[in-house]
Amino acid sequence: MSTAISLVFVAQEKSSRQSVDQHPLQRTGEEGPELAISGQDPVPRRCHQGARKQKAVLAIHSGQAALAHGVHAAIAATPAMPPDLTAAAFFDVDNTLMRGASIFYFAQGLAARNFFPAGALASFAWQQLKFRVAGRELSLEEIHTSREQALSFVAGRSNQQFVELGEDIYDELMADRIWSGTLALAQRHLDAGQRVWLVTATPVELATIIARRLGLTGALGTVAETVDGVYTGRLVGDILHGAAKAQAVRTLALQEGLDLQRCTAYSDSANDIPMLSLVGTAVAVNPDPDLRETARARGWEIRDFRTGRKAARIGVPSVLGIGVAAGAVAARLAYQRRVRP
C-alpha cells in the first residue's frame, strides 16, 4: 500500500487552544494505530535547558487522512561529532529506561494533586506488583484497561495543564528512577552522532518530557485525542504496543532515511520482539524471562542493571534483513529545530 506524506508548518502559540478546523483529529479507518512522533533535529547532546522553538507537523497517512497537532520538545546543544544520519537507537521506557511504569508515576502525581481519588491508584499499584513478582510486562489487555482508566481521568482537562504537571511530576517521581546504565547506553549513541528515540505505549506528552529531560532526540508514543486543547477521553488510533512499535519504527525510518541494519533497539519485554527483530542490533535490557530466552537463542546482547551487574554478551547481535516498507499506520512527526539568536 502506498503511503502519502504531507508537511504542514504550524506557528507556535502560548495558548493551549487549537482550532479543530485547521487540524482535524480523525481516525484513519485502518486497524493500525496513530502515534505521535515528537522530536528534535538534528542530533542533540544531553541538555536540561529549554530553548526557543518552532513547530512542524508531518502527517503520514494511508487510506483516510489523519492530521493531529504537534507536541513540544526542546532543542539540545549542538553535537560534538558530525551527525550519523542513517543510524539511530530506539529505547523502550518502562522497566528499560525507567524502573517501573511511567504512567503509574504520573497517575500517582495526579492523585497527590487531587485529580482523582487516591484509591484509584490501587489497580495501577497491583499491576506494578505483578510485574515485580512475575518479572513480566503487563499483557495487552491489562495495558488497555490501564489506559482506559487513565483516559477517563484526563477527559475534559487541558493538554497544556497536563504537560505542565508532567514536568513537575517527572522531577518528583521519575528522575531518580532512571536506570543510569541504560542512560549511558543512550549517551553512547548520542556521542556517536546518532539520534535516540523513545518508543513507548506511554502518552506522547509524557514520553516527550522524558526524552527532553534526558537530552534525547524525541519520542514515539500513544496519542490521546484533544479538541480545542482539551482531552476527549479517547485515543487517536490505538496504543503503541507490541507490533505497532515495529510498524512505527519502520515509518520513522522511511521518513528519516534511516538504515535499519545500522540501528539498535533496546527493550525489557518479549512484547517488543517485533521491534527488536527489525533492527541490526537488538539489546535486551533487564529482560523478562521470555525475552531473555529469546535473546539467548538469537544471540542478542543482554544488559541487566537490576542487580548492578551487566549480563554477559551472548553471541553476536543479529542482523536481520527486514525491509522498510511503510505499513498501514498514521503518524505525525513534530520537529523542534534549533532557532539561532
What residues act catalytically? 92, 94
* Cα–Cα distance, 286 to 308 (Å, whole number): 11
Q: Cα dist. 332→35, 71, 84, 220 in Å?
A: 7, 9, 23, 9
By CB neighbour count within 10 A (0-12 exposed, 13-18 middle, 19+ buried), where does 308 fall? Answer: exposed
| 35 touches 331 (CB < 8 A) | yes
| 306 touches 286 (CB < 8 A) | yes
* Cα–Cα distance, 338 to 318 (Å, whole number): 36
Cα-based angle 14, 19, 23 (whole degrees, multiple of 5): 110
State the first-to-last Cα distance of the chain, in angstroms, to the nearest integer. 43
| 138 touches 221 (CB < 8 A) | no
| Biggest distance spanned by C-alpha atoms of the chain | 55
Three-state DSSP at 234 gives strand
